[in-house]
Amino acid sequence: MNPIRRPLIAGNWKMNAGGQDGCALADAVAKSVKDSDQVDVVVSPPFTALAAVAHVLDENKSKVTIAAQNMHAEPSGAFTGEISSSMLKESGASWVILGHSERRQLFGETDEMVARKVSAALASGLRPIACVGETLDQRDAEATLEVVARQVRAFVDELAKQPGFGVIAYEPVWAIGTGLVATPEDAQAVHAMIRGILGESSDELAQQTRILYGGSVKADNAEGLLDQADIDGALVGGASLDAAGFGKIVEAAQRLAPRTDQG
């Protein structure tokens, strides 16, 4: 971690906890992280639970904020089954996860689509968490840096319009939901490369942009990852469905957190 950037721990609930159980989880998360005042905490319920979770966090007077898991790049129109940025904001989201590897792999999202979504999110005042990461085949072919660089370059000009407002999440696909986690050193090398690309745009963008690591982050491996210079937080899948375990990841970030005013 670096003193300039405030740590951010985001839970990606994926297609889980979409109703009453989402409200219960949000309530438990709000209570378990309430003393972690040096860390930004985000939860990402499915669309159907956004408004209800916002209400629960409000009732708890919680500083935890909400991300949606996807959105359409257009503001409105004939796009059956899709959700726009303004709808997400109205439902209580202030962030949106974009280009998650599950969206790229299972739903055919391309670099170009992700860039359009990042642009639309920023234009509407939603903070994007733009995801990148290589597959196992790409890693085995030693193409990690090349693939991740290409994915970042697709949206870097968009993030440069508002330095520090957007976030990048590096999630190696082979580490997602597998229990396999990148070593802190391997993750740090990719994060440093990403920061280098941001630096080609401006020093400000490089210094202000938080880069999260995701992929089998748990309470017992979080601290080693978060201790790296260019790892500014975590995007947590499975472990974010358990408020106590998620709270421990937030506590690890709180222990390492420099005192900053970024929000």
Catalytic positions? 100, 171
CA distance 128 to 166: 5
Site string for ligand 13P, 8-37 (x = CB under 6 A): ----x-------------------------
Encode 29-91 in three state secondary structure. Answer: HHHHCCCCCCCEEEEECCHHHHHHHHHHHHHCCCCCEEEECCCCCCCCCCCCCCCCHHHHHHC
Q: Find the shortest distance in angstroms from Cβ 68 to ligand 13P.
A: 13
From the list 74-82, 110-118, 120-128, 215-223, the region that binds ligand 13P by CB under 6 A is 215-223
Q: Find the shortest distance in angstroms from Cβ 148 to ligand 13P.
A: 15
Fill in the amino acid letter for 64: V
Q: Find the shortest distance in angstroms from Cβ 184 to ligand 13P.
A: 16
Question: Which residues from 131-190 bind ligand 13P, rule CB under 6 A?
Answer: 171, 176-177
For position 226 contacting ligand 13P by CB under 6 A, the verdict is: no
* Phi/psi at 40 (5° precision): -85, 130
Please report where in the chains the tokens 């790229």 appear, as a residue. Answer: 104
For position 98 contacting ligand 13P by CB under 6 A, the verdict is: no
Candidates 99, 164, 215, 233: give the one binding ligand 13P (CB under 6 A).
215
Please report where in the chains the tokens 């939603």 appear, as a residue. Answer: 126
Q: Find the shortest distance in angstroms from Cβ 9 to ligand 13P.
A: 11
For position 221 contacting ligand 13P by CB under 6 A, the verdict is: no
Tokens of 91: 């439902």
Name the helix (H) or strand (E) containing 158. Answer: helix 144-159
Tell which residue, 196, 118, 193, 103, has the closest CA to residue 155: 118
From the list 70-78, 88-96, 108-116, 210-218, the region that binds ligand 13P by CB under 6 A is 210-218
Q: Which residues sit at the interface with ligand 13P, rule CB under 6 A?
A: 12, 100, 171, 176-177, 214-217, 235-239
